Amino acid sequence: MANARQQGLHDHFYSILHAMIPRPYQQEALDALHLHVCTKETNPCVVIPTGGGKSALIAWIVGKWKSESPHVRIIILAHRKELIEQNAAELQGMCPEFRIGIYSAALGRRDYDADVLFASIDSIYKRSGDFPAWDVAMVDEAHRIPPKGEGKYRTFLQGCRKWNPALRVIGWTATPFRMGYGAICHKDHLLNEICYEAKITSLIHDGYLCKLRSKVGVIQPELGGVKRNSGGDYITRSLSAATNKKVIVTEAVAEAVRIMNAENRKSAVFFCVDVDHCNNVSKELQRHGIHAPAITGGTKRKIRERAADNFKAGKLRAICNVNVYTEGFNATIIDCIVLLRPTLSAGLFSQMVGRGLRLHKQKNVCLVLDFACCIEEHGPIDILGGEPIALATCELCRESFSRAIGTCPACGWVIPKIVFDKMEAADCEKRLHETKVSQRSILSNVPEVRNVHTVFASRHRKLGFPDSLRVQYRCGKSMFSEWVCLDHEGYAGECASKWWAKRFGLHQVAGGSRPATVNEALNYMFLTQGIAEYTKTISVKRKGKNWEIVAYNEAITKTDDVSA
């Protein structure tokens, strides 16, 4: 009988899976996660951009594992009731025969007898001993797991391991880094490695996410005097003093409304700094004839839900919020994001902008209006990466490990408190004074035009290849390079010949003409002067972690950053 039931669950799940075919990248993620769990002992993390269908992926993998092993027990942890509700609803709709429970004070439920439990970390973190042992623990928005200290996630998961030391932990996130700590995956952290990552630009290119376009507002707050906390982000009270000024709110809202009207934007989300700022923005929008409720953490649940439902139904043209709609708000109708809340957190920036990535039949492009220096601060959304992981070296065994855990995993040596505090203080000082990047495009595949101030030229050698001419362009504080392969043959040589001809012409030789060799170029007295006279601007775009020069002498536009 049990075998027949198991076969029935198996057949039902795969009939559902066939009817709801995962997108190619989703299938790749499912396969990668399943392979990782079957072949490795480390705890993996799956990185899916906002709007990429993370809830569906969780439902698919839980359904697969439950259909193949009905006795497996799985808990899915989240920090917001909206995430708990949508994840549970996704699985319930896909597999209605599963015993699915919810444990969340905010939702008024405390289920104890479910094999699959969707739980609020705030409600359950002290209750690990109240449940039978779990086999798998998943963490939605896994970037919230701190790499050090106790914390609610660590408290709960360590408690679960008392009952099942073999507990597997799986993370799901759109931003696999945490401000002040860097990457969330490391051999010494709870999550050890990324098993699959889908890229925003790929999903946009393939039509699975909405295109983004950005405009930088004329008025921007002056952030030079804003204080920062130990984690590196702005202190809210200090930030509010810089942003919640009548002239800034008035002009920013007026420009936002003008652009919204000109482009017929129907569903805008305004991100604000604090309650007072949010109320002022809401009132200013009302002066322009737009009713936009101010939603904050203190707003009553029924009012929040009614506002969200009305917005999703198209009954509200705009909605203002403070840290409410950064996560778990799946309103596909959003066609405009208005950033009035500056942040130094790349993760928060990504979450805010990500609200507009979901597809909807009534929009082709989501417009991002930046009145908070966010794009200038963080650059393109698809290359955000956080800081590198801070490492320490054990003074006993010389093991290199993540400093965040404080203890050598090899021999148990503990970083002395005075040494640890000095390291943390140095990092904090660095975050407080580090210079900011300046890129004005919301996506990295949009070229940016830079003014060229200085040109340098030198020889570049690479073992096994002919020499090339390395040309460097200083644009403000930034440096961009290209390699001109004058001594190469084939396609690279052809490109180099055209490059040289445009700037200096070709040498006439018997049987035709040719460009200079690298030696001849470097011996030419006016080499850098000639390149500089020809090259007034360069157009650059991201290629992986590097910059690529894609054009020359294009006109500077208002949104191009010409100072960096």
For residue 31 the two structure tokens come to 């396969």
Does residue 560 fall inside a structural domain? no
Q: Are residues 15 and 111 in the same domain?
A: yes
Mention every residue, 6+ apart, whose C-beta is less than 8 A from residue 305: none
Of 50, 53, 104, 51, the residue nearest 77 (C-alpha)? 104
Does residue 563 fall inside a structural domain? no
Pairing of strands 448-451, 537-543: antiparallel
Q: Which of 160, 176, 198 is the last residue of a domain?
A: 198
Q: Are residues 38 and 111 in the same domain?
A: yes
Mention every residue, 6+ apart, whose C-beta is less than 8 A from residue 221: 242, 243, 245, 248, 342, 371, 372, 373
Cα dihedral sign for 109, 115, 116, 119?
A: positive
Q: Are residues 140 and 186 in the same domain?
A: yes
Q: Domain tally for the chain? A: 4
Q: Are residues 360 and 427 in the same domain?
A: no
Backbone angles phi, psi at 458, to 5 degrees: -155, 170
Q: Are residues 56 and 142 in the same domain?
A: yes
Q: Are residues 42 and 116 in the same domain?
A: yes
Helix axes 54-68, 81-94, angle to 10 degrees: 50
Q: Are residues 485 and 362 in the same domain?
A: no
| SS3 of residue 185 by DSSP | strand
Gap between the Cα atoms of 141 and 442, Å rounded: 22
| SS3 of residue 476 by DSSP | coil
The domain that holds 87 is classified in CATH as: 3.40.50.300
What amino acid is encoded at 546 in this protein?
A: N
| Residues 250, 277 contacting (CB under 8 angstroms) | no
* Each residue's pLDDT expressed in tens, for the chain with a length of 564 residues: 445 445 444 454 444 544 478 999 999 999 999 999 999 999 999 999 999 999 999 999 999 999 999 999 999 999 988 899 999 999 998 888 888 999 999 999 999 999 999 999 999 999 999 999 999 999 999 988 876 655 899 899 999 999 999 999 999 999 888 877 778 888 888 899 999 999 888 898 899 999 988 888 889 999 989 999 877 899 999 999 999 999 999 999 999 999 999 999 999 999 999 999 999 999 999 999 999 999 999 999 899 999 999 999 999 999 999 999 988 788 999 999 999 999 998 889 989 999 999 999 999 999 999 999 888 777 666 555 545 556 677 787 655 567 777 787 767 888 888 877 777 777 666 555 544 444 456 776 778 899 998 888 888 887 788 989 989 888 876 778 899 999 999 999 999 999 999 998 876 655 667 788 998 888 887 888 889 889 999 999 877 667 889 999 998 765 554 444
Domain that holds residue 221: 209-383
Does residue 442 fall inside a structural domain? no
What amino acid is encoded at 473 in this protein?
A: Y
What amino acid is encoded at 483 in this protein?
A: W
